[in-house]
Amino acid sequence: MNKEFLRENKIILILIFIIIILVVFLGLIQYIEDRSEGKSLNENQSLSDCKNGYECFVKNTSGPPTSDNLTEDQKKLSTDLLQLLGIIDLPPDMTRDSLIQRMINDHQLKQIDGTSGKLFVQTYIYLNSNAQVPDLTDYLFDLKYTDLENHILVAWIDVNNVTRVASFETVREISTIIPPEFEKTPTNNFSGS
């Protein structure tokens, strides 16, 4: 009876098999389109232009980041900034949202009232010895500290302006501020006399 059923319903089974293959193929195409969405957009776009919020920056698709496949301006940015901007891939176990949340929790990233939801990142900006700070001030949201003797600035930068600030010849490197870690329970290391 089983062979008889197969013979009688051969066309139906073939159609079901074709439909399954078609569904898998269309799902694969959709997956590929979803993964590539936002990676070839114009580099002049801002985060506020993004459908997903954090995937509008031109992505390096030529493999892991090396000095050969990053622009001169991108080479000046720390890895976490490159990841935040979508220029390099995140680790497999991390999403863009989890990176942003971690940076917010670490006080490296914040939204500032009155700025239409823009994100700002707290950075060290290392300058070349011939640097002129006024050149950069138009692109810094909040200049917190200036140490011209050691050629360092501490400033909040609109995420959309990070690569612009890196494009200045006077900028040598930009990295996020790494907050200090403290013990959760204070200890008393003093000896009394």
Ranges 34-38, 102-106, 164-168, 182-186: which has the least confidence: 34-38
Cβ–Cβ under 8 Å, residues 168 and 148: no
Domain that holds residue 65: 47-176
Closest CA to 123 of 80, 184, 66: 80
Binned at pLDDT 50, 70 and 90, residue 39 comes out as very low
Q: Give the SS3 label for residue 119.
A: strand
Residue 188 has pLDDT above 70, yes or no: no
Note the pLDDT of residue 10: 79
* 8-state DSSP, 141: S
- The answer to whether residue 25 is domain-embedded is no
- The answer to whether residue 185 is domain-embedded is no
Note the pLDDT of residue 124: 93
Note the pLDDT of residue 185: 61
- The answer to whether residue 146 is domain-embedded is yes
- The answer to whether residue 143 is domain-embedded is yes
Higher pLDDT, 44 or 20: 20
The residue behind tokens 């990070």 is 162
- The answer to whether residue 128 is domain-embedded is yes
Question: Across 38-42, 128-132, 174-178, which has the greatest mean pLDDT?
Answer: 174-178
Note the pLDDT of residue 46: 38
Note the pLDDT of residue 146: 84
What's the domain count of the chain? 1
Residue 173 has pLDDT above 90, yes or no: yes
Taking only the tens place, the pLDDT of each residue in 56-113 is: 444 444 445 555 678 889 999 998 899 888 888 888 888 888 888 888 888 888 887 7
Residue 120 has pLDDT above 50, yes or no: yes
Under 8 Å CB-to-CB from 78, ≥6 apart: which residues?
173, 174, 175, 176
- The answer to whether residue 23 is domain-embedded is no
- The answer to whether residue 100 is domain-embedded is yes
- The answer to whether residue 24 is domain-embedded is no
Averaged pLDDT for residues 12-32:
81
CA separation (Å) from 160 to 56, 57, 108, 172, 184?
10, 9, 15, 19, 35
